Structure 1
Amino acid sequence: MMFCVKCGSHTKKINIPDDIIKRDVCTVCAHVHYKNPKIIVGSLPVKNDKVLLCKRDIEPSRGRWTLPSGYMELGESLEEGSKRESLEEANLKYEIVKLYGTYSIPRIGQVLFIYLGKIMNDDYHAVAETSEVRLFQINEIPWEEIAFPSVDFFLKKYVEDYNDGNNFKFHTNYSELIST
C-alpha cells in the first residue's frame, strides 16, 4: 500500500512494537493499515444421502461444479452468510447441522467456513451465478469437474465420513498447509 486510506499521505512498512509482521503505517497520521483475509462462507447441503452442487455460470471456473458459497458481508454472522449464499446461488434453504470445517488459502488471503446442512426446500434451482443445480449420489459426484481444491477437499471428507457410518467430523486443511 502506497497511500493512506485516511489522509492520502504516503505509507511506510515498519515494525510496530509487539507485532511480528511489518505493517503499512501512514507517515503523517500514523494510521496502521492491516491486511486481513477475506472470509468465504458456504454449505455442504444434503438430502436423502445426496449432495447438492451448483454449476458455476461466472468466472473463475465457469462450467464447473461447486458448493454454494461466497464472500461474507459486513453485519452478518458466518451462519447468516452461509444461508444467504445458498439462497443467492441456488434458491436453497437449509438447516445447519454443524460447522463442518475450515479451509485456509494463505496464498490469496482467504478462509472458507463450510456448514453441513439438511436441505429444507424442493424448489432449489439455478439463479444468476449458476447454470445448473443438482443433487448427486456420492458415487455420481463429477470429480473431474469440481471447481476448486477446497470443494474437492470437503466433498472427499464428506464421502469418507459417510462411508464411516455417517460419522461427520470437523475438518481442516491444516495438515496440508504445514506439509508444504
Structure 2
Amino acid sequence: MNIIKNHSEIISNASGMERKAREIMLELLESAIETVDGKKSVISSISLKDECFSVKDLEIPLKGKVLVIGAGKASGKMAEGVEYVLLDHIHAGHVNVLSGTEGLFNLSKVRTFPAGHPIPDHNTLEGTRKIVELVRGLDESDVVITLISGGGSALMEMPMPGITLEDLNRATRLLLECGARIQEINSVRKHISQV
C-alpha cells in the first residue's frame, strides 16, 4: 500500500527517466515517512518479558494498573504501538489527538479525544480534564505511560485558575503572530497552564 495518496498519478503522467526519477523519489519519501511512524517507533523501543515492561534499558515491573495518557499529533499512532506490546496489561488510556483524526486509530483500550491545534479549544480542556481524572488516585505500583509528540503542548492544556481559555488563546495567538518559536511559546504557557 502506498502512503502517498496520489502515488499512481504522480508516476503515470511522466515517462522515461523522469518516470524512473519520480518512482525513486516516492520510494525514498515513503521509506522516510515509515521510519518516523509513531507505532513502529514505540514497538521498537518497548518490550514485555516476564510481567516486566522495558523501555530501552529501563525495566518496570507491572504489578498494578497500567494507564496510557498523552497528547500530540503522533500520540494516536504511538498508543497503537503501546497496545500492540502491552494490550492485555493496559487498564485504560486516553490521548488527545488533532481534531479530525480521532477516528483513524485502531485502539482497544486507549481512547482518543479530538483537541485543537495550534490554538487549544474546549475539546482540549475536556480531554485534558479526562486525562487528569484518569491518573487521580494511583498508587506506587501503578504505571503511567505518557506519550507526548509534536503539538502536545497545545493539545493538552488546562489554564491556571483565574485564566480563561480565551486568555490562553489570546496569548498563544499573539506569540504565533509575532513569530515566536515553540520553545518561547511553551516558556509562556508553563506560567499560565496547569499541565
Question: TM-score, with normalisation over the residues of structure 2?
Answer: 0.27
Of Structure 1 and Structure 2, which has the larger fraction of its residues in strand?
1
Question: TM-score, with normalisation over the residues of structure 1?
Answer: 0.28
Higher relative contact order (CA 8 A, sep 6+): 1
